[in-house]
Structure formats: structure tokens, C-alpha cells
Amino acid sequence: MNPSRSSGILLHPTSLPGRLGIGDLGVEAYRFADFLADAKQRLWQVLPLGPTDESNSPYQCLSVFAGNPLLISLETLVEEQFLDSTDLENAPAFPEHCVNYNAVKGFKMPLLGKSFALFEKKANLAQRDELESFCSSKASWLDDYALYIALSEAHDCAAWNLWEEDIRMRHPEAIRRWSRKLAREIRCHKYQQYQFFRQWARLKKYCHDRGIRLIGDIPIFITLDSATVWLHPELFYLDETGNPTVVAGVPPDYFSDTGQLWGNPIYRWDSMAKDGYSWWIERFRETYSLIDIVRLDHFRGFEKYWEIPAGETTARNGRWVPGPGAALFEAIKKALGNVPIIAEDLGLITPEVDALRERLGFPGMRVLQFAFGNDTKADDYRPHNYPRNCVVYTGTHDNNTTIGWFKEEVLDDTTQSRKVRESERRLALKYMGCDGKEVNWDFIRLALMSVADTAIIPLQDVLGLGSEARMNRPATTEGNWTWRFRREMLTEEIKSRLRELTTIYGRAV
């Protein structure tokens, strides 16, 4: 077997099953790791793991360093006696197939507060020392993050640029005053991070012990209402009130004829370059403490990014502006060595973007759902044209599921016409020599048999699910990031079938 060939599954932890409304880092995460190992998979890809804003999008995080408290397993806290078993007995009847974020937060966050109170009351000396050691090791970001979240709660979750001027501007006396006033809340948020990192570290070791490496995501941009922007406004294009003067997005594309208006503040790359991109180096360093391989979101934005004037209602009226290019990645390499990075080089890719990726040696991405168009770009996505140094996906978290892509009649998620989609479906069947009855497995086989060193399959495609299991619809804000699977869906038949294909095509553990 070629040791460079591997495959894995894309599944965010929120999509794991369980009775408490959202997937977490408890027993079901370990069961899924067992499924991966038994199916001869070597990779588990997740989305960003940070705490999210009200959109619940993992690409809109309140911190680039912190973990999402909603992923903390309450059942594990019960086992460790930092919650009572009775606390979970009256849990609401959460839906099994999706996450109701408001209901989950209303149930889970008070219990995390109760767990902190029990820890302060019952923890032994070794446990207290472990918490203190964690806080000390993460102090470079944890102190400010915990203060920021406590301040946000004290201001009814209003954005930081709507706070009183002294704390908005981080005047030292205001920092001291609020730190004293919110001391307990700050300790509670540090405790939550302690529990997240403990639980994730155990799961990571469990995966490593079974030959599974973790792929994680670094979004290129971050949300305005975040600890980072509050702490470092000088690194972003903001006015004197803390509002962005320009924001991020992409021009009209496959997903939207008005483009995608993300609204994230734009970096002052010149300011970041002055200190050798230290913030980015620390961001990568902390991410690699959690995962093994980085999937770098929106790689093309590091060559040129789409800058939109603040106040625009669509992404049409923007302009391409040069990004940091190779200088950023040379600084990261100098500080961290040859760290593994997958470049998410999707969208409007120019020869300059390809040249930057090739210069850096990063594998790019190939998505099978993009392989059957009649344009020249589709040729790059057809497996007979793949380089070995790439990662093939049947689809990503932004795509429909393969069955949804193949069968859905109402095309409300792309700029394609029905005629174009029907043409793509016909070509896909001819290309694969199949009848489409199990098109998800046809795509899986095609990905696994390709020469691409790495193949990643969204779990929805392994399970043969349709559009109802879609994770995200780009350029929309409602109903995303909620999908969950049920435990009984991971059958022995599916495991055996995936294991057989993985072995046949030389990707098995």
C-alpha cells in the first residue's frame, strides 16, 4: 500500500447523536472514532471548533483560540461528579435529527455554570492545580477571552462596539473595574475552556491510538463581535466607533448571483506584517494543539481577497485587493516548521492563486460535484486529471449531499439552470458507467479509486441521505449547521462496504 494514500470522513461534532440536543465530546464521539477505525479510515475532518455567534456558524467564532462550550459533554461531567445525574433527568425532548440551538443553550449553559460551582466546592487539590496549570498555559489568550465573554453577557450580548467608551476602548481602569466586578463569571468561563480542552485532548488521544488523524479548519476571516477584534482593533479596517469600513465576501458565484456578503472585517495586512505575522503564527500554533492537519479556508483570499465597502447590501460592488501572499506562510514555516496544510482553493481561482499554492506545496481540493460541467474549470475536477498532491471530496459542508445534488429538482441553492444541472447528471452517469440508483456510493468509489493522495467523504454521503441532511447553504442565514445523524444509521453493512472499498483502493489503515 502507498502510505501516502488515505481517506476519512467529514463530520462536525455537533452532528453526533445523543439525547441532549447537540453532538458533544462524550461517548458518541468515541463510538464514531471506533466506526472510523473499523471502516479502515485514517482521517476525521471537523469544522472550526470555536464558540460561535448568534448565527451558530462555526465560521463566525467569538475567538480563534477558544473551544465551543456547547461541545462539552455533560454526561462526562456527571461521571466526574461535577454535575449530578438528576441534572440530566429532566432534559427537554430535543429533536434527534437537528440542533435547536436556542433550546440547547437554554438547557446546557446554566448546567455548565452549576458544574463550575460544584468544582469550586468539591475539587481536590490535584484537580485545582490542573485547572490553574491550564489557565497559566493558555493565559496569552484565555484571560482576555474570559473577560470578553463575561463583558458581553453583562451587556446583554451586545456587540463590543456598542459598550461604554472606556471598556470599548480597553482603558486600563475600566479593565480593572470590570475584572473585579465580573471575577466569578471570568473564572467560570476559564473553567468551561478547561473542560473543553480536557475532553478534546482525551478524544484526540483516543483517535491517535486508533491510527486516526484529525483535520481541522482555520477560517480566513473572523467575526467583528469577537474577542480578537476587541483586543486588536488596530489589525482591522475599522472607524473610530469600531465599525468596519470595508468587509469580506466573494463576488457572484456558483452559489449566488449577487455574491456572498460575509460581513467580516478586513485585516490590515501591512500592520500584521510589521511584527512578522505574530498573531497568525499563534493562531496556527494553537490550532495545531487541537488537530493534526489544517484545512485553510478560502485560500484564494491570501493571494487576493474581495473587499466590499461597508453598507453595501450585496457583494456585487467590491474589488480584488492583494493579500499577504507567500510572506505569511514563510513566517509560519520559520516559526512552526513544515506544518501540514490543505488549501481550500475553491471558487474563482486564477493562475496567480494556483501559482501561490504550488509554490508553497499545499495540496488543493477537488470536489466531484463540480466535475461534470461543460466549462474548462470542470476539467480540473474530473478524476482523470487529478494530481496526486490533492484532496478529493464528494462534496463539502457548503454543498448539497450527493443524493441531493443528483435528485433535487428545485435549484434554490445555486446559480445553475435546471438544464445545466440535468446535463451534469447525464455526464456523471456516463463518466462513472452507472445507473444512478446508488449515486452516493458511485461518487464514493470514484473518490477512493482516484490518484488523489487523500479522499474525504461527508458522512451524509456514506449514509445515503438527501437534501434534508445538508449542513450549510452559502449566502443564506437560516437553518444551517443543524444536521445530526442517529446512532442506528451507522450500520454494520455500511461499515463493511466502506471498509471494502477503502481496502480495494489502497487507502486502508
Q: What is the pLDDT of residue 36?
A: 98
> Residue 327 falls within a domain, yes or no?
yes
Q: Does residue 146 lie within any of the structural domains?
A: no
Question: Is 431 part of a structural domain of the chain?
Answer: no
Active site residue 344: yes
Residue 270 lies in a domain: yes
Residue 284: how many other CB atoms lie within 10 Å: 23
Does the structure show a pLDDT above 50 at 11?
yes
Q: How far apart are CA 86 and CA 142, in angstroms?
A: 31
Taking only the tens place, the pLDDT of each residue in 384-430 is 999 999 999 999 999 999 999 999 765 555 666 788 889 999 999 99
- Residue 107 pLDDT > 90, yes or no? yes
pLDDT score for 1? 36
Which DSSP category does 488 fall into? G
432 domain residue, yes or no: no
According to DSSP, residue 373 is labeled: S
Closest CA to 455 of 41, 7, 40, 11: 7
Helix, strand, coil percent content, the chain, rounded in steps of 5:
45, 10, 40
More confident residue, 409 or 160: 160
* CB-side neighbour CA atoms (13 Å) of 267: 20
Q: What pTM was computed for the model?
A: 0.96
DSSP state of 315: S
pLDDT category at 456 given cuts 50, 70, 90 is very high
Q: Decide if 76 is inside a domain.
A: no
Round to whole Å and give the CA distance between 189 and 195. 10
* Residue 238: inside a domain: yes
Domain count, the chain: 1
Length of the chain: 509
* DSSP string across 51-120: PB-TT--TTSBS-SSS--GGGS-HHHHHHTTSS-THHHHT-----SSB--HHHHHHHHHHHHHHHHHHHH
Write the CA distances from 396 to 14, 251, 415, 457, 483, integer angstroms.
16, 20, 18, 8, 14
pLDDT, one tens digit per residue, over 337-368 is 999 999 999 988 999 999 999 999 999 999 99
R_g over Cα of the chain: 23
Q: Measure the N-to-C terminal CA separation of the chain; round to a whole number of Å.
A: 9
- For 46-80, the pLDDT digits (tens) are 999 999 999 999 999 999 999 999 999 999 999 99
Question: CA-to-CA distance for 221 and 157, rounded, in angstroms?
Answer: 21
Residue in 28, 303, 398, 413 annotated catalytic: 398
DSSP 418-436: HHHHHHHHHHHHHHHT--S
Write down the pLDDT at residue 417: 77
Of 28, 217, 225, 344, the catalytic one is: 344
CB count, 10 Å around CB of 276? Answer: 16
Choosing from 24, 28, 297, 461, the catalytic residue is 297
176 within domain boundaries: no
**Amino acid identity of 215?**
I
Q: H-type helices in 351-436, by residue range? A: 351-360, 376-381, 402-407, 418-432
Average pLDDT over residues 302-326: 95
> Measured on CA atoms in the order 190, 195, 199, 202, is the torsion positive or negative?
positive
Query: What whole-number distance in Å separates Cα of residue 432 and Cα of residue 248?
Result: 38
> Domain containing 328: what range?
232-362
How many C-beta neighbours within 10 Å does residue 393 have? 26
